[in-house]
Structure 1
Amino acid sequence: MNIIGILHYKMKRMLEQATELTNDGSEDLFDLITHEINERDGFISFERFMELSLYHPELGYYTKNIERVGKDADFITSVSIGKCYGLILAHHFAKVLETFFNSTEKVVVVELGAENGDLALDIMGEFSMLLSKNLFERINYIIVEPFSLKRQALRARLNSEGIGNISVISDLKEENNLYGVLIGNEVLDALPFRRVRFRDKKWMELGVGINRNGNKMKLIEAERRIQNDSLISRVVDFPKDLPDGFTAEVNINFEQLLSYIHSSFVKLEGYFVDYGSSHDELMDISRSNGTVRAYSRHQHVNNVLSSPGNNDITSNVDFDWFRASAETLGFITEEPIDQYRFLTKSAEQWLLCIEKSGDQSAKNMQLINQFKMLIHPSTMGRSFKVLKFRK
């Protein structure tokens, strides 16, 4: 859910298109979207609707200066629960860096979807205690943030913390020949995606149109023949024995994102943490309406097309398609692992240290409580998976 105020891959095209729509500021996002629908013969893809709703440079949900993450905002993330998540990731990454990158002259940790920079501070703070001075000083923590106002806010916050080896850049292409680790927490689910609907024994694209009632307009679902070549190639192998009206989400941007990462790294241990399903699970008839959903103030929003720019929009990640896209580019992938298994294994050393020391300080008890929430099956332990890939 989170991120990306955040993303980069498609960003250049999206920013150019969204900027073209921006006029003197008198129109709101609904007006901009309806204007574009009218300009495009009454139909835009759901992907385009999502791009504008979430990432319009001035009016998008992830680009506006609002509080999105936290118990008093729209949703919580593993990062917002507290420092424990970053602490455990630091323990895991420390082993990775010491094992695979200890002799590398320059090492990076790249984060996509950093939001307010909490994870960077938590990881680097723990690194300063875990790693040798030599290795720590060779690390550059790179946050990739495409939006200038968010970059400015991140830099101001990080500078105020006095940690010098964290940088904020607009595009990973500013760096190349990288060696190190990449982390994206709840990034994949916020990548704009297409929707398709099985209608009369064939797949149609499900996009966004306009319903007019006098002078009033509202956004509605609209179907048309699939015209995008990438989408056509994706649905060709989809089941043909589904009930009429079966709806699914299709992300055709994974390979573009992964290609962007692949070209920047010489050697990489990459991790995306997100919620999702196998392709077969997503095609099960019990999910005939798909998994797209919107949230505001921790509440499910019934109409995902309502109030663009004010709600988070997401869907379950197709883990099989992500892995296939990664492997096509030459990445080596692993089966998704439950967050509770990944964090429990990564936290072994930290938990043993607490047990041996007998330290039951308020700080440690707070961290333990955060750990329990991160791994609990009813919260994030099973719903979130860790997708590991390497080059």
Structure 2
Amino acid sequence: MHADSPLPTPEPEALQVSQHLLERVRQEINAGDGWMSFHRYMELALYAPALGYYTAGSHKLGRGGDFITAPEVSPLFGRCVARQCAQVLESLGGGDILEFGAGTGVLAVEILTALEGLESLPDRYLILELSPDLRQRQRAAVALLPEALRNRVQWLDALPEPGSLRGVMLGNEVLDAMPVQVFHWHDGAVRERGVALGERLEWADRPAGETLADTVHVLHDTTGGAWPSGYVSEINPGLSGWLRAAAECLAAGVILLVDYGYPRQEYYSPERYRGTLMAHYRHRALDEPLVWPGIVDITAHVDFTAVAEAGEAAGLSLLGYTTQAWFLMGAGLESVFQACQAEGLREQMDLAAQVRMLTLPGEMGERFQVMALGRGVPVPLMGFSGRDLIPRL
């Protein structure tokens, strides 16, 4: 929903934290000759210790927060993901699950509960979470599980040792929260978009550095070379390093990534001339990400071609790529739906509405994509058995 009406005013405590973060941003801008890259701004806005969106303790996810993710939409999502995890764990003879950025803990709870029913529990369910607030919410959710399940859950402060993990690594809406560089294309000249000080924070461009300029020129040439002057888009410079670090931990298994995004040709199409950057606040999508630093979430869509390239450069194989709708159907959505159907029309209608939200093209079904990268997995992954979108990469 776009903000076509006045935005709800944040709580005074949140505004106070935002002012502290804004002062830090101002100091860095002044120290940087009046300019800060948007990449650095996004890093501070989301992750500055005790001040950023994910580190300052505000209520973020779920119906009372700023946005809702698929695990909160329906338990059907987690139960389908669990079936994919079960297939991988069984093919490896057991192992662990590691979830990056586990949100409210709902997905972990659903997966563990479903895997117990499938008699395919992981040895450990590891959670790597940067947000102190979300870690607290996850602990509260996990505490409601039976002892045999909650004792398998461990929180990590860093990735496991290289080569120490066998199993599944999950990232649901993780890549979209990684800081991005924003570029501006002017008739062949590349400028980097950043932040400067005016009456408030405002956009300001500078000539791009050599690395960014070269990358953008390659993108332009390989995606058709038809960008209009003034074209704006994003690049995620941290993607390769993140995937390389994750791959180093994985002795055998799958990295399963779910996010909104496109293959490269679609991401950098001339029609998408304003890029994909947006902010989220109280279930509204805002076109302006510079308001209320630390209070609004900032995201960019995912270039899944870049994800596949980074995974393969890190020594992983591309095991599958499809839409969320097709992944859920391949992972047994119909069977899960039938098993979850409760008696009574109201519950059945609610479940049917959840299926529509998860799978319809105008909802989450096609906007969200699923990719699997891995090594040492001897079976084709069930979630990718329906529609193969790898040729679109």
Aligned to 2:8: none
Letter in 2 for 1:123: I
Question: Is residue 293 from structure 1 mapped to residue 297 from structure 2 by the alignment?
Answer: no
Return the match for 1:218 from 189, 200, 215.
Answer: 200
Return the match for 2:41 from 37, 45, 49.
Answer: 49
Shift in Å at residue 39 of structure 1? 0.7
Per-residue Cα deviation, 1:108-164 (whole angstroms, up to 9, x for no partner):
111011022111111001111111xxx53x521100013455445533542353311
Contact 1:274–1:384 (8 Å) recurs in 2: yes
Greater alpha carbon shift after TM alignment, 144-153 vs 326-335: 144-153
Return the match for 2:325 from 309, 327, 340.
Answer: 340
Shift in Å at residue 318 of structure 1? 0.9
Contact 1:277–1:316 (8 Å) recurs in 2: yes
SS in 2 for 1:208: strand
Return the match for 2:218 from 225, 237, 248.
Answer: 237
SS in 2 for 1:333: strand
SS in 2 for 1:285: coil
Contact 2:308–2:318 (8 Å) recurs in 1: yes
| TM-score of the aligned structures, taking structure 2 as reference length | 0.82
SS in 1 for 2:80: helix
Per-residue Cα deviation, 1:290-332 (whole angstroms, up to 9, x for no partner):
1111121122224221111111111221111111111111111
Please give the alpha-carbon distance, in whole angstroms, between the structure 2 residues aligned to 1:69 and 1:221: 28
1:92-241 superposed matches below 5 A:
92-98=84-90, 100-102=91-93, 104=94, 107-131=95-119, 135-136=120-121, 139-148=123-132, 150-161=134-145, 162=147, 163-173=150-160, 176-211=163-198, 217-227=199-209, 229=211, 231-239=212-220, 241=226
SS in 2 for 1:340: helix
Contact 2:92–2:253 (8 Å) recurs in 1: no
Shift in Å at residue 354 of structure 1? 3.8
Please give the alpha-carbon distance, in whole angstroms, between the structure 1 residues aligned to 2:301 and 2:337: 35
Structure 1's 296 and 182: CA in aligned 2 closer, same or farther, altered over 3 A? same
Please give the alpha-carbon distance, in whole angstroms, between the structure 2 residues aligned to 1:156 and 1:70: 15
Aligned to 2:312: 327
SS in 1 for 2:59: coil
Aligned to 1:82: 74
Please give the alpha-carbon distance, in whole angstroms, between the structure 2 residues aligned to 1:300 and 1:337: 25
Please give the alpha-carbon distance, in whole angstroms, between the structure 1 residues aligned to 2:333 and 2:287: 41
Aligned to 2:369: 385
Shift in Å at residue 238 of structure 1? 2.6
Paired positions, count? 352
Structure 1's 91 and 223: CA in aligned 2 closer, same or farther, altered over 3 A? same
Please give the alpha-carbon distance, in whole angstroms, between the structure 2 residues aligned to 1:360 and 1:97: 33
Please give the alpha-carbon distance, in whole angstroms, between the structure 2 residues aligned to 1:153 and 1:189: 21
Return the match for 1:316 from 290, 293, 301.
Answer: 301
Aligned to 1:275: 260
Per-residue Cα deviation, 1:10-64 (whole angstroms, up to 9, x for no partner):
xxxxxxxxxxxxxxx8961111111111111111111111111111121211223
Per-residue Cα deviation, 1:212-248 (whole angstroms, up to 9, x for no partner):
xxxxx3111111122263x344223132553221111
Please give the alpha-carbon distance, in whole angstroms, between the structure 1 residues aligned to 2:322 and 2:294: 33
| TM-score of the aligned structures, taking structure 1 as reference length | 0.83
Greater alpha carbon shift after TM alignment, 363-372 vs 167-176: 363-372
Structure 1's 174 and 26: CA in aligned 2 closer, same or farther, altered over 3 A? same
Please give the alpha-carbon distance, in whole angstroms, between the structure 1 residues aligned to 2:351 and 2:115: 17
Please give the alpha-carbon distance, in whole angstroms, between the structure 1 residues aligned to 2:59 and 2:337: 36
Please give the alpha-carbon distance, in whole angstroms, between the structure 2 residues aligned to 1:272 and 1:311: 24
SS in 2 for 1:237: helix
Per-residue Cα deviation, 1:176-199 (whole angstroms, up to 9, x for no partner):
521001111111111110000112
Contact 1:144–1:171 (8 Å) recurs in 2: yes
Aligned to 1:304: 289
**Any gaps of 5 or more consecutive residues in structure 1?**
1-24, 212-216
**Any gaps of 5 or more consecutive residues in structure 2?**
1-16, 376-393
SS in 2 for 1:236: helix
SS in 1 for 2:271: helix
Please give the alpha-carbon distance, in whole angstroms, between the structure 2 residues aligned to 1:318 and 1:352: 31
Contact 1:86–1:122 (8 Å) recurs in 2: yes
Letter in 2 for 1:346: A
Percent of residue pairs identical = 31
Contact 1:154–1:168 (8 Å) recurs in 2: no
Per-residue Cα deviation, 1:242-275 (whole angstroms, up to 9, x for no partner):
3221111011111111011011110121111011
What's the RMSD between the two structures over aligned residues?
2.5
Contact 2:58–2:133 (8 Å) recurs in 1: no
